[in-house]
Structure 1
Amino acid sequence: MHIAYANIDKGRYQNIEQVQNMEVQEDGDHFISSQLGGLAGTQMALRAAIELKVFSIIADAGPDAHLSAAEIISKIPTKDPSSAAWTLERVLRVLGGNSILSIISRKPSGNNGEHGLHEWTYGLTKKSRRLASSSSTTDELASFTTSFILFTTEREMLESQYMIKDAVLDPGSSPFYKAYGVNFFDYMGEKPRLRQLFDDFMEVSGKLQFEDVFKLYGGFKDLKELMDVGGGIGTTLAKITSTYPHVRGLNFDLPHVIDAAPKLPSVKHVAGDMFKSIPNAQTILLQCILHNWDDEHCKKLLRNCWEALPQEGKVIIVEMAISEELENNVEANDVLREDFFMMLLTNGGKKQTLAEFKDLGKAVGFTKVDIFPMPHWSVHVIEFHK
């Protein structure tokens, strides 16, 4: 808001400083309101840009490239390039205003240009480089970021968020259940597209979060046998057994998951239900499993693990943990964001503090807990010893 001081009835104000203070305050309030109100719009603009491969198109043009909307549209099949460029322009401006893209103004080639004597061009920033996979490279971090955004902006995720208020007023089921009347995991069984998005996100997320564990945690090298409970198609276990060939790998998951699992060297696939019983094993791995369930289900699973272990056996848990002293930093917010989606999708699933993990272990009979913090992602390796 801009105020022309000469036109103000100064009799209504004690002094001009009061007017200036009002201008600053109202400007700040306005911009804060606009920013908060535009959060959802920015996220959907980001999704559209990912689906149109805007970031990869810019990346393919060179490390410091800036392209106009028309230049980007020339790489995208569309029925009306001129109108499409103008629509895309407005999407790109929003992303630029949120520092997701950088904006440079330049004079267009040829005539004055359709929209005046200049045009805007758009380049990648630190944020959007995480969204760009160029034609010559593959980037797991880019895959993680894009898969996370695409999954969390799917229609089912958005519909579930409409039900958060109802879940607060009438607890007992997750917002997703309130929206669709079915458990999230059961729902995905009937929706291949959503299941694929979820699986893509979980696979690349698991790989990235496990990198530090694999490099820094020394607890795998002395094992003879390792069972990955809820191990999906066995990707993590295959990496462990390929590095430590002396380790016998058992991959345990639900029958329909095991049916889709490929044959892997040194890995035996075993089908079953972890809440009913778990086959005997020297050591059990639970990677990003406990956060899907409430405390009672976690205790049931851990009790089944305890019963499946020999006297000197242990459970190796890999999970993000919430700090007991919450801080406003990237890693803390990352855990809280994931905890939010646990609340959204599951009945009782949540991220735990380290103290809560210890309580779960002790509640089912584990006598010793060792904790190994990793440097990134707020990931911890937690050993429960029988």
Structure 2
Amino acid sequence: MEEIGNRRETTVSKNDCGDEEQRAEIDMWRYIFGFSEMAALKCAIELGIAEAMEAHGQAGISLSELATALNCSSSYLYRIIRFLIHLKFLKEKCSDATNGAKLYTLAPLGRLLMKQGERGMAALVLLETSPVMLAPWQALSGRVRNNDRPAFEAAHGEDVWDFAATNHNHSKLINEAMACDARIVVPAIVNGCTDVFDGVESVVDVGGGDGTTLGMLVKAFPWIKGINFDLPHVVSVAPERNSVEHIGGDMFKGVPQADAAFSMWVLHDWCDEECIEILKKCREAIPKDKGKVIIVDAVIEEADDEQEKEPGDYNYKLKGAKLMLDMVMMAHTNRGKERTREEWRYVLDKAGFSRFVVRPIRAVQSVIVAYY
């Protein structure tokens, strides 16, 4: 039987527990204390554990060396390390032959805690564990029960967009998290959907943040001219990037002209009616003969979709993450949501698109290509 606390898998035989009630109790303890996993990851990132271990490579680092490097209490640090080993972020090596001290190294999962690097996901962890993003979860039941004020607004007095516009530090967290996601997802797009950009000479990234995503796409497809389009307060602090022009504006009022309108992790922030309005503006921005809208967002599989997938399929394994992300949308946006294929069909049809295709990639999101 797996120890309580391992979210990755709980394997309990009938001989171990005897019945479903005991298995349910074990799972329930795991959910009750599940928040501790998120807190431990945030702690590890803020301390810089991954970076300190990476500097020592596969040779490993002892507890005393790590405590000295991080200026931490070794007794408390050991308890964090023990938990991270249990969660498969760290590994314990054989003891150092010279002094008998245990040595620790990063597991592949632990490298995702790096603040820098192509695959580091620390910024996403820090955003979702920030006090600003945690508070709305306390108001979720009121939103569900009475269709009350959005949970984020109930917690902070304004929606997430207005809050970010006047709180620079939170806006910075959002941009860093989106850039972090881009460093993971864009290579998956490039490797899995190269043909989507064939014949496309210009792309406008609608809600493109600081331009990280578009900068990576332009680098992968150097014939493309990029337009990074977002709210004025966002693009005003966006760094300069080769072949990328930053333009501030409101996507509900209009989108700059380009061969293709690109949107990643934007449309899920909005309800169907708002999503349709954004898509209409995107459709107006592209040429009738060859224009396309490229959407990178989650597609939640329904029962019929799941029957077509093998248990080892990457996107099949990510369904739980997609459903969690839908809960995030409920807590952090006014009426945003993750959509099924049929729900995507509905909004795209209402926005006037003739057809669309869904291309799974190695990410939580899929690539949805809609044609004029």
TM-score with structure 2 setting the length = 0.82
The residue identity in structure 2 corresponding to 1:71 is E
Structure 1 pair 346–62 and aligned structure 2 pair: CA distance change class (3 A): same
Identify if the C-alpha distance between structure 1 residues 24 and 59 changes in structure 2 by more than 3 Å, giving closer, same or farther: farther
Residue of structure 2 aligned with 1:209, choices 161, 179, 185: 185
Q: Alpha-carbon deviation of 1:273?
A: 0.8
- Residues 274-312 of structure 1 deviation map (CA, whole Å, 9 limit, x = unaligned): 101223333222222211111010011112222333322
Aligned residue pairs total 347
Alignment of 1:143-162 (within 5 A): 144=121, 146-162=122-138
Q: Is the 8 A contact 1:167 1:178 kept in 2?
A: no
Work out which of the residue numbers 249, 253, 277 in structure 2 matches 1:300. Answer: 277
- The structure 2 residue matched to 1:89, chosen from 69, 78, 81, is 78
Range with bigger deviation, 246-255 or 161-170? 246-255
Give the counterpart letter for 1:295 in structure 2.
D
**Displacement of 1:333 after TM fit?**
2.0
1:214 CA displacement:
2.0
Q: Show the counterpart of 2:253.
A: 276
The question of whether the paired residues in 2 share the 8 Å contact of 1:252 and 1:272 is answered with yes
> What is the rounded CA distance, in whole Å, between the counterparts of 2:44 and 2:217 in structure 1?
37
Q: Structure 1 residue aligned with 2:118, among 137, 140, 146?
A: 140
Alignment equivalent of 1:356, drawn from 321, 327, 343: 343
Instruction: Name the structure 2 match of 1:99.
Output: 88
Among residues 176, 184, 187, which one is paired with 2:152 in the alignment? 176
Give distance in 2, aligned partners of 1:205 and 1:91: 26
| Paired letter, 1:203 | A
Give the Cα–Cα distance (whole angstroms) in 2 for the partners of residues 293 and 265 of structure 1: 31
CA contact (8 A) 1:67 1:123 kept: no
RMSD: 3.0
For residues 210 and 292 of structure 2, the distance between their equivalents in structure 1, rounded to whole angstroms, comes to: 23
Which consecutive unaligned segments of at least 5 residues does structure 2 have?
A: 1-13
- Supply the distance in 1 between the matched residues of 2:162 and 2:70 (Cα, whole angstroms): 36
Cα separation, 2, equivalents of 1:30 and 1:368: 48
Q: What is the aligned partner in structure 1 of residue 369 from structure 2?
A: 383
What corresponds to 2:234 in structure 1? Answer: 257
Q: From the CA coordinates, give the structure whose radius of gyration is larger.
A: 1
CA drift at 1:235: 3.1
CA contact (8 A) 2:269 2:333 kept: yes
* Contact 2:165/2:233 (8 A) holds in 1: no
**1:114 aligned residue:** none
How many Å apart are 1:31 and its aligned residue? 4.6
Letter in 1 for 2:161: F
CA–CA distance in 2 between the matches of 1:195 and 1:214? 28
- 1:56 matched to 2:51? The reply is yes
Matched, 1:41 2:49: no
Aligned pair 1:332/2:319, yes or no?
yes
Please tell me whether residue 200 in structure 1 is matched to residue 200 in structure 2: no
Deviation at 1:362, TM superposition (A): 0.9
- Equivalent residue for 1:15? none
Asked if structure 2 preserves the Cα contact closer than 8 Å seen for 1:103 and 1:120, the reply is: yes
1:128 is the counterpart of 2:110: yes
Q: In the aligned structure 1, how far is the partner of 2:297 from the partner of 2:130? A: 25
Aligned identity (percent) is 28
Deviations 1:183-212 (A, max 9, x none): 112112233322222211101202311212
The alignment status of 1:232 with 2:221, answered yes or no, reads no
Check the 8 A contact 2:142/2:148 in 1, yes or no: no
Deviations 1:240-299 (A, max 9, x none): 444544433333222222322334333333222110122333322222221111101001
Confirm or deny: 8 A CA contact 2:202 2:259 kept in the other structure. Answer: yes
In the superposition, relative to structure 1, how do residues 130 and 27 fare at CA in structure 2: closer, same or farther (>3 Å)? Answer: same
Contact 2:60 2:103 in 1 (8 A): no
Give the TM-score, by structure 1 length. Answer: 0.79
Q: Structure 1 unaligned segments of length 5 or more: list them.
A: 1-19, 79-83, 111-117
Q: How many Å separate the matches in 1 of 2:196 and 2:17?
A: 61
